[in-house]
Amino acid sequence: PDSFLSVRDLHVRFSTEDGVVKAVDGLSFDLERGKTLGIVGESGSGKSVTNLAVLGLHNPKSTEITGEITLDGETLTGAREKTLEKLRGNKMAMIFQDALAALSPYYTVGRQIAEPFIKHTGASKREGRQRAIEMLTKVGIPQPNLRVDDYPHQFSGGMRQRAMIAMALVCNPALLIADEPTTALDVTVQAQILDLLKDLQQEFGSAIILITHDLGVVANTADDLLVMYAGRAVERGSVKEILTQPQHPYTWGLLSSMPRLSSDVNEALNPIPGAPPSLLDPPTGCAFHPRCGFVDEVAGASCTGDRPSLALGRAAACHLNAEQKQTFFTEQIKPR
């Protein structure tokens, strides 16, 4: 495949006491080197599950994964744990919402940043410490040669997030997965962290997957977007296309809860009625149909019976025709 990261027809199913949860249900996407893909959706839409599958972090006993994931030509699906171990923290790394959970309270920040570097490069402890200081400098921690010996509890929330980013980038990963990296932070620090990620991406050339429920987070950070609903991708396109010409009724709903996102879209719709469906027993046809205001507006296609497909490239998984997508969106969301 030409793309750096390629995901094809990914299915992730969990066995639970109540039955099989279809957490990801036929997902495909591509990511180029050095680009940022935003994956947007409500909680439970499958965005985190997808990325844990990329990293090979699901428990194989209770999880069934089918489809194909390749990173830089190497197939990750079905790869041995040993192979994935070599890639994690090295070629691909992850940052989470909660730095306190990701960092151990028992070791210094510097030691934790150095650890993957020592593990993957065979560097000495001294070199590891030097590298940790260098990374703390890059992520903007003041007095890095003193702070390197601090414990996580001695850092503020924003600084811990920076330390976690330092740890993720210490081996210069080609793929960085950031799952709600700024959700726990206040707005000012959020913006600083997103700026930092962008700067570091320039420097390291990493491809980034930015997972968020908040379109505002990806608006200035991502190149492309994938909108997920009920374990499926419902729309994909560039950030600009999706923010200014969204084609899926679910995306219209997401945008409407962000009224001041773009000057073109400055009037709020009502929030999307209803709640996401249970993935034990997802709706037939289009999974969004119980919440959609445009059900069966198209002759020849049944929203409740036929599942709309999503092509690669600019696309929306919706039976509405191109003209309807344009008209309904304009009527619904453009300033009146």
For the chain, where are the alpha helices, taking DSSP H only? 47-55, 81-87, 99-102, 109-121, 125-138, 144-147, 157-169, 187-204, 215-219, 239-244, 249-256, 322-333
CB of 321 to ligand SF4, least distance (A): 10
User: Which residue of 4, 117, 252, 288 would you call a contact of ligand SF4, by CB under 6 A?
Assistant: 288
The letter for the amino acid at 233 is: A
Which residue ranges make up the site for Mg ion (CB under 5 A)?
48
For ligand SF4, how many residues bind (rule: CB under 6 A)?
13
Query: Which lies closer to ligand SF4 via its Cβ, residue 169 or residue 230?
Result: 230
User: Which residue of 294, 310, 329, 333 would you call a contact of ligand SF4, by CB under 6 A?
Assistant: 294
User: Which residue of 286, 310, 329, 333 would you call a contact of ligand SF4, by CB under 6 A?
Assistant: 286
329 binds ligand SF4 (CB under 6 A): no
44 binds, among ligand SF4, Mg ion, none (CB under 5 to 8 A by kind): none
Gap between the Cα atoms of 206 and 140, Å rounded? 19
User: Which residue of 118, 139, 320, 333 would you call a contact of ligand SF4, by CB under 6 A?
Assistant: 320
| Residue whose tokens read 């947007």 | 40
CB of 295 to ligand SF4, least distance (A): 5
Gap between the Cα atoms of 147 and 151, Å rounded? 9
Gap between the Cα atoms of 222 and 324, Å rounded? 27
CB of 250 to ligand SF4, least distance (A): 6
Q: CA neighbours within 13 Å on the CB side: how many for 191?
A: 2
239 binds ligand SF4 (CB under 6 A): no
Which chain residues interact with ligand SF4 by CB under 6 A? Answer: 249, 286, 288-289, 292, 294-295, 297, 303, 308, 318-320
